[in-house]
Each structure stands twice: as structure tokens, then as C-alpha cells.
Chains A and B, each alone.
Chain A
Amino acid sequence: MIIANGKIYRSEEQDRILAAAAHNIDRTLAERSLDAETVIAAIDRLGSEIARGVFDERINELPVDEPMRYKAMAAEMLSREFLEYKLAVELGGSEPENAPENAAFTRIMPLGVIFHIAAGNMDGLPAFSLAEGLLTGNINILKLPRADNGLSVEIIAKLIEYEPRLADFIYVFDTPSSDVHAMKKMAALADGIAVWGGDGAVSAVRALAPVGTRLIEWGHKLSFAYISGYEDKERELTELAAHIAATKQLLCSSCQVIYLDTDDESELEGFCAEFLPILEREIARRKPVSIGGRAHSSLLRYTDMLEDILGEKPLPKHFGGKGCSLTIGADSELELSDMMCNVLVKKLPRRGIVPVLRRGKNYLQTAGLICPESERAELADIFARCGVTRVTSAGAMSDYFAGEGHDGDYPLRRYTRVVNTSFDWRR
């Protein structure tokens, strides 16, 4: 389905709507602007409707654990309080005193048109990306991920219903990424392209974007947990296991590797033996993994077993549990695990952190810490200096914190530009 100028159209009408879009966008840019208050009021209303249960049916259909927790998070992220705080943190710079005589008059303006290419790995993300674009006053072209279940279109249509003034600022298409011509057209209309996705998607968008278009890349990142002593072992490990089971390691902030601050291989084995039952318990409390995911894990396991029989590749030490596994890595590199609760466990003594993480610098995101409180600051500092952009406690790696940046950036700044108007100051 397509949304354009406040109406819903069938996907077949894409080419016609795209052809008319340039003209419509020019008109909107010439005649109208969108102030933050209008957007906040509409999104806040949407948030309270979500909280009231208007979309429960659709939300319950989502293949996520604890859909109601999801709902609570969405409602919070769409609340007035949250949005106002976000705007203030991300865009509200303080004016320095004693400006020089020739100081420019500066305004923060919308970038213009933002083309959002949303990833399918988190439900609700397309709508949230759109909300960020609206909040900064932009006209938004949103390309939905293939896996969208219709929730995004429904939510966006509702938003326009609450606030018809948003209609000219929202275009939603369900174009498949393979329709390169349509993608190019959308890219050509845009001042900025926000792409959520893996290396492939990001480099494809780089190839697609006209020179000079601002690229806002929310690429795939890797996250890890780092354990250096415990305060309350049972609780801390349970929280980490719950995080892994809940996100199934599919998010950029999901733990792929658990690092232990040690040099001693046998400590890794001891850890796996202890952690595996905890992980199994947390998984058993949740929805089973999809059939494709289970098949993927089984195939990898089986192939590894055959390799083991062939005997040339030393099999990594593997702890298989119900619906999950722990594998002891031979090195300390940060890498993608097999996901779906198949976690890598590696040793990484503190003095080795910097070189290891620097090798993965383009992919670093969250470090989830388990350590005595007295050591938190020091470890957080090391991680931050290596390029990690979030440090949390291990159980909270995928939680959202008000006012936090995204992959080292404030998104709203990326969706805006600075405009100076300066006239005749010499006179």
C-alpha cells in the first residue's frame, strides 16, 4: 500500500504517484512549513492511543516476545515528554554570550526531503524513523521493509487522521528494494537518505544516491557483553540471558559475544557450564524461535559435526542447550554470532581490549558491562575511547534511554541543516 497526500493507494499506482511527487513536493516546500508543536501533538496523541490499546490486535500479531512491553516502549517513545526532551537535547544548543559583531544569524531548518529506507528487524522502526523526520519539519518518503505487516501503514494513516496538516509531508511506499528505478526516483527527490540496514544495503544506497545528497547511515552494528567480576552473579547473569532470549541477538544492540576478562581458557568452560542453564531457562519462558531460525541453527550444528568427523578443522568447544548454544571462540575478535541465541564466549583480558575493538571500529555499538561498581567508570572509558557508542549494564543493552544518541550521533541534527542569513553587516 502507498500513502501520499493523505490518501491510501494500491501499490500498482506507484509509478503514477512518484511521477507527480516532484511537483507536489515543490508546492509543499513553497507554500507550507511544519512546526514541531503540530507534530508533537499528533504523535503524542498516537502514543496515548497505542497505550489505550487501539492497536492491540495488530501489536499482538507481531512475532515478538512480550508484545505488551513493546507497546509500553512505543507509547513512551511517542509521548510529548519524551519528544520535547529529545528536541531539546538534540537541537537545543545554548547561545554563547558575547557574540562577535559579525556573528551570523543562524536558523536550524529542515533538510528538506528525507528518504527513509527502513530495515525490517525492528517492528515500529519505520514509523519511528518517519516521526524523527516530521519532528524536524521534513517532507518524508518512507520505503517500508518487505517484512512490514501493515502496522506501519495503519499507524501512519492514523497519524494523518489526527493531524491532516501532516498529509503533505508524508509519502509511504512498499516498493521492493529490487525496483531500482523507483528507488532512484525517490533518492533523486531527497535532500537526505536515511538508510537502516546492513553493509549491502548501505553500499547499495551509496551507489544510488546522487552526489551531494546527505547520507544518514544507520548501518548494522555489533554489540557485546564484558564480564569482569560480579556484584550479584545470579541476577546479573539472568538479566543478560533475558536480554539474549528477548532480542534473539537480532538487534544491533544485541549481545553477540560474551567476553570474560581473563586469559584462562578453563574459566571460559566454567562460565559456559554455569550460564547455559540460565540461558535455557530464559528462552523457555519465551516464544519459540521461527522455523527458519531453528533450521539455520540445526544445519550449522550438523555441518560442524561433519567437519568434526572429517577431523581437519578443530571443532570449537561447543555447549549445546535447548534452543540455544554457547561456543567458545578460539580468538578474541568481535564478530557476528550465529544469532538466535547461539552466543560466542571469548576471553579478552583488559589489556587486550583496545587492539581487538579497534579492529572492529566501524561496527561497534553497545558494550554491556558486568563488573563491580568501582570499575565501571574505568571500563566504560576504555570502551568509549575504542569507538563504542553506548555502555550499559549487560541486561539493559537493548533498552532505550531518554535523550540518548544513535550510533554516536543525534539523529535530529542529521535531519536538519544550519541556515545563515547575513546582510550588510559592514555598513
Chain B
Amino acid sequence: MKYRRRLFSAKSPYDTNGTEELFLRAVRENCLFHYTNCPEYRKLLDGLGFGEREIVSDSLPLSEYLARLPFIPTLLFKRRRMFSVPRHRMFVKATSSGTSGRFSEIGFDAGGLLCGLKMVLRLGRQRGLFSLRPCRYIVTGYQPHRGNRTAVTKTAFGATLFTPCISRKYVLKYANGKYSPDFDGTVEAVVRYSKKRAPVRFMGFPAYMYFLMREMERRGVSVRLPKGSKIMLGGGWKQFYAEQADKDAFYRLAEKVLGVSDKDVVEFYGAVEHPIMYTDCPNHRFHIPVYSRVLIRDCDTLEPLPPGETGLVNLITPMICATPILSVMTDDLGVLRDGAECGCGIRSPYLEIIGRVAPDSIKTCAAGASEILSESISALKGADQP
């Protein structure tokens, strides 16, 4: 996996132009590995007319190669397990949250995790997430527990390692076999921490963070957190999905009740099926890092679309050997935009998530688009194990 190693050692994490050839080599290397070691993957590729000859062919430039490379929908990972290394060689297994009861199980190999670590260091440094100043962490998500293998829990925990950590407090506490939210205790902690000198960092689901801040507003509690405090968000906006008005309201609320400005709100995008730490820029846009490429595919034909057009988001990374997640198709709808349009200085294109695939993005009847309501209520009453 020498090309993978070289790709993840790249010096500038957003130099997508300068890493095209390297990325292509890493993709071919990764694809051949899965083709050789994962019988299901081989069957799929053969069935789609992308055999060994096509995999190793170097006649196509990167964009055309990726357009032709078969992609696997996250839905398929939810329906069946596929692995390219024996289970005992997998370092970590993680699952998606699986709101509808079905979840993917993705294995991670040691080499892939090492790449991931380099990536996190590089991207985190770029966004100023690392500091030697000890912080207090409030995780607006799940307390880690042996029975909880969701990737969001793992990443949320991981994020508390960005600085030395004085304490960790979890909004969703695990006790007696189930998770229950502790908003009272959390609000209390926020007030207490605001009087101390160490910065406070929040990490977790935007929806819970929003609840927490609404709760503070409702109780008339507002504090000014110590300088250097940050709000880090990951795990999906759910009902706030990319609606700018909602995000602006979120930033305003953060300023009002916590005294954290929007520059200190950092958002992550990623999926267990594409474990690349997409980190927003100071303008809150997701530029593509060198470790990943994105194709936007037509909603009818599934063929790649030019920049600026809306379609299904296809994410590609050669990071992982344990599971064939080289090219995955998400349930997200998005647009790719020219990096220069952002104005933050990063040149690589950025991905805008528009919404989620649904029978109809705004209206469904029989399908019941009300999961969010029940989710948030169970959040207040005591959430079940995900």
C-alpha cells in the first residue's frame, strides 16, 4: 500500500490538483486489493464489466477512471457485510447510526487507521483544532460504552484528544443498560466551566447541541465561555440539513448563550462508509482534502455531472483495506463548487450538501418522515442504545 501511504503523507492537505496522479495510483492499488481479497467485490466488479484489466489500466486520467470505477451505495453495506481481510485482522469495527434499524458495519485495518491519524493531524492543524492548553470537553452525544460501536461515538471521543483534556462530560449518559440525556447536569456544568479559565469544547450532534442551547435560552441562562472555546459538530444536521437560515440561527444562539462566535464553530462531515474528516473552512464550507475525491452523479442516469449541478454524492478514498469502501454512493444530494468562489484561500473544490435522498425531499406520507420528532422525544425521555 505504498501509494496510499504517500497520499496520506502529502504535505498540503488541500492540494488536490498536485496529487491527481498519486491519488489515481492509490485507487488502483486499493481496488486491486479488494478485487483480490473480497469475493463479493470481485463479483460486483466483474458483473459491472470492470475486471482486472480495467483496474490496472493506466490509459485514463483520474476523473475518467473514477467515473468508470464501480461505486457501492451505502444501502448495500446496510444490507450485507463485505470484508477484504479476515475479521481478526481488523483493528476496529464501526457501525453507522442506522436510524431505520439497519446499519453498515465497516472494518478498519491498522494501516488505514494510521493514515487516518495522519489525516486528522494535518486537517486539524489547518483548522487550528490542536492546542496544548488543557480544555474541558462536553460531548453532546453518547458516552462510550462497550456495546456502542457507532462511528459517531468513536469520533466524538477522538475529538476530545485534540488538546489535553481536563474532563469529559457526556450529554447522553450510559447507565443501567441504556442512554439517557442529562440536560440539567450539562447546563450546570456549562455555567460552572464558564467561571474558570480553561477553554470549553463541545463535540457532537448538532441537534443535541441545538437542544442544549435552546434549553439554556429557555431558562434564561447565558454565559461567556473562556477564550479559545469551540463548538465542534458532526453527525448530521438532520432537520437542519444545510438550510442556511437554520445554521445562521444556530450561530446566533451560540453567540447569545455561550459567547462563542461562529468562527469557533467547526463542523465535520463524513460517514462511517467514507471515514475522511471533512472539516469546514472558516467560511463553513467543506473543501475536498487530498485524501478524497467527490463525484456528483445524475439522479436518473447516475453518470457524473459537471460542477455546479445537483446530484447524488459519490465519495472516493483509497484509505481502507478491510472493507471495500473505495467508492461509495451516499444518500446525500450535493453540489460541487469551485474552491476559489469560497474566498477562504483554500483552492480545492468544496462540497455543498443540499439534502437527503427521499421519496420526496419534503413530503412523504406513508413513509413517515417523522423519525426526527420521535428521536428528539426519546432523547428527552431516555434514548435507547443506538
Contacts and interface: CB of A to CB of B under 8 A. Distances in A.
A181 B376 contact: no
B359 A303 contact: no
B365 A220 contact: yes
Interface string A320-342: 00000000000000001011100
Nearest to A223: B366
B97 to A, nearest CB: 16
B329 A198 contact: no
Contacts of B369: 120, 198
B302 A302 contact: yes
Interface in B336-368: 355-368
Given A252-B366, A293-B359, A299-B357, A208 B80 contact: no
Given A204-B377, A295-B299, A309-B48, A220 B368 contact: yes
Contacts of B363: 120-122, 147, 250
Interface stretch (B15-23, B137-145, B211-219): B211-219
A92 interface: no
A10 B370 CA distance: 25
Interface string A403-419: 00000000000000000
Contacts of B365: 119, 121-122, 198, 220, 250-252, 254
Contacts of A336: 366-367
Nearest to A293: B360
Interface stretch (B69-77, B126-134, B193-201, B271-279): B69-77
A147 B362 contact: yes
Interface string B46-87: 011000000000000000000000001101100110000000
Contacts of A306: 44, 47, 72-73, 76
Interface in B205-247: 207, 210-211, 214-215, 217-218, 238-239
A187 B367 CA distance: 25
A200 B360 contact: no
A298 interface: yes
Contacts of A299: 73, 75, 312, 329, 331, 357
A204 B364 CA distance: 17
Given A121-B365, A303-B79, A178 B360 contact: no
A185 B355 CA distance: 30
Contacts of A290: 360-362
Given A204-B377, A250-B365, A309-B48, A292 B355 contact: yes
A176 B372 CA distance: 10
A296 B374 contact: no
Given A298-B300, A309-B47, A292 B377 contact: no
Contacts of B112: none
A200 B371 contact: yes
B257 to A, nearest CB: 13
A49 B16 CA distance: 58
Contact of A295 (B48, B79, B217, B357): B357
B377 A339 contact: no
- Most chain B CB within 10 A, of A201, A254, A291, A292, is at A292
A274 interface: no
A298 B207 contact: no
A198 B367 contact: yes
A198 B366 contact: yes
Given A298-B299, A309-B48, A292 B360 contact: yes
B312 to A, nearest CB: 5
B75 A303 contact: yes
A309 B44 contact: yes
A220 B366 contact: yes
B311 interface: yes
A31 interface: no
B309 to A, nearest CB: 10
Contacts of B75: 299-300, 303
A177 interface: yes
Interface string A200-229: 110110011000000000001110000000
A292 B358 contact: yes
B360 A310 contact: no
A35 interface: no
A66 B97 CA distance: 40
Given A178-B376, A302-B73, A306-B72, A295 B312 contact: yes
A178 B79 contact: no
B333 interface: yes
Contacts of B218: 15, 181
A147 B372 CA distance: 14
Given A250-B359, A294-B299, 6 more contacts: A120-B369, A220-B366, A289-B360, A291-B311, A292-B333, A310-B80
14 contacts: A121-B365, A177-B372, A177-B376, A220-B368, A222-B366, A250-B360, A250-B364, A295-B311, A296-B357, A299-B329, A302-B73, A306-B44, A306-B73, A339-B364
Interface of A: 15, 63, 119-122, 146-147, 176-181, 197-201, 203-204, 207-208, 220-222, 248-252, 254, 256, 289-296, 298-300, 302-303, 306-307, 309-311, 336, 338-340
